[in-house]
């Protein structure tokens, strides 16, 4: 099922995944219009899309996703919304109200705008973190949508993404103003990597400051399965095509899907090393101290920061929940998305790795220059 002739809205269109999805839509679908919704749309992003734009109109919508009039205007006349925008915060550096406002309130306003403006399809970009891991660090290996797991979410990010996902799925079947019905689904990608990944850049910068030695914060056996950004974009396109198909619409509507690919399972720290070893980086052999002592240290640091909070806000670089996430085996299969959505990873592990390393190599001189400047 093609999206040809449709008008779509992409929230977070200037972000890591958003840019990749917009380019994919331009290259593969003869859409009437793609609306780029973000706080600020850089002119250079529009310039990079001109070579594949064709006859598709690119419209810019700059504003706050928490502004109901703004999101309703952006959705007016659209047929599908890809809701990617969110605040990602794994260090608890932002106030909960700020994260909630964007991740939950913004999603709710978008859903309401879809109902008011007769938008038929809504694809929500969720995250593996709505599943966990839980504070006990209980592992999941090659899990599926049917996997049961007792999770008490600690991060503001994971809690708000979970609530936003639930609201999205509950909105499936809502009656639109024109009498039609809204179809929704949610995609739960693993940790997304690829060209433009700011987390990889951050780890590379830390490695440069540490004499080209990457920090180890994950045990080697704490394997996860990262997913390449190009394959996540493909999954979004397949979800939109499936929601448009009358025969699939009700079968997948109101459901969530894990999105992974054939990237080999590996710990977060070792994944950084896989990507950066060709650039001359090594990695610490062991954690800076035994894992149980790291938890104790994080506990005391968190308590100290909490005591000082009335006077000064200090965000520690590591907390217990982040340490748990980095050291819990947590991997999931994409078989359900393959079966229901027709999703198949387009980029092999070899292609994804090469593209990511090439991009990191192009960024390396800039990162070294920043270190020298400091």
Hey, which residues are catalytic here? 157
Query: What's the rounded Cα separation, in Å, for the pair 287 and 267?
Result: 13
CA 85 to each of CA 212, 247, 343: distance values in angstroms, whole numbers, following the listed order: 33, 29, 22
Which 3 state secondary structure label does DSSP give 95?
A: coil
Tokens for 86, please give them: 């969110």
Query: What's the rounded Cα separation, in Å, for the pair 356 and 108?
Result: 34
Long-range CB contact pairs, 208-212, < 8 A, 24+: 208/367, 208/368, 208/371, 209/371, 212/280, 212/281, 212/282
In the chain the first and final C-alpha atoms are separated, in Å, by 53
Q: Are 56 and 26 in contact (CB under 8 A)?
A: yes
């Amino acid at each position: 099922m093609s999206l040809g002739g449709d008008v779509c809205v992409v929230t977070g269109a200037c972000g890591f995944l958003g840019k990749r999805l917009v380019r994919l839509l331009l290259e593969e679908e003869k859409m009437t219009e793609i609306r780029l919704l973000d706080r600020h749309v850089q002119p250079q992003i529009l310039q990079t899309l001109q070579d594949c734009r064709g006859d598709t109109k690119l419209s810019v919508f700059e504003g706050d996703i928490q502004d109901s009039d703004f999101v309703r205007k952006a959705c007016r006349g659209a047929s599908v919304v890809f809701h990617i925008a969110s605040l990602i915060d794994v260090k608890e550096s932002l106030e909960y109200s700020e994260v909630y406002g964007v991740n939950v309130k913004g999603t709710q306003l978008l859903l309401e705008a879809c109902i008011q403006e007769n938008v038929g399809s809504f694809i929500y970009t969720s995250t593996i973190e709505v599943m966990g891991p839980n504070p006990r660090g209980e592992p999941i290996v090659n899990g599926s949508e049917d996997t049961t797991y007792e999770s008490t979410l600690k991060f503001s990010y994971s809690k708000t993404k979970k609530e936003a996902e639930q609201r999205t799925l509950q909105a499936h079947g809502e009656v639109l103003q024109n009498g039609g019905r809204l179809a929704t689904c949610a995609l739960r990608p693993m940790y997304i990597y690829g060209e433009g990944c700011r987390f990889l850049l951050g780890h590379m910068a830390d490695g440069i400051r540490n004499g080209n030695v990457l920090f180890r914060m994950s045990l080697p056996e704490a394997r996860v399965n990262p997913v390449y950004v190009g394959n996540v974009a493909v999954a979004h396109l397949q979800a939109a095509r499936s929601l448009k198909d009358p025969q699939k619409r009700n079968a997948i509507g109101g459901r969530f899907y894990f999105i992974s690919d054939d990237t080999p399972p590996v710990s977060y720290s070792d994944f950084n090393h896989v990507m950066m070893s060709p650039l001359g980086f090594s990695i610490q052999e062991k954690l800076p101290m035994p894992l149980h002592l790291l938890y104790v240290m994080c506990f005391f640091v968190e308590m100290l920061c909490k005591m000082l909070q009335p006077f000064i806000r200090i965000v520690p670089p590591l907390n217990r929940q982040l340490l748990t996430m980095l050291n819990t085996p947590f991997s999931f299969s994409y078989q359900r998305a393959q079966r229901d959505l027709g999703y198949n990873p387009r980029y092999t592990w070899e292609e994804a790795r090469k593209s990511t390393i090439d991009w990191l190599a192009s960024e390396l001189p800039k990162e070294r220059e920043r270190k020298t400047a400091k």
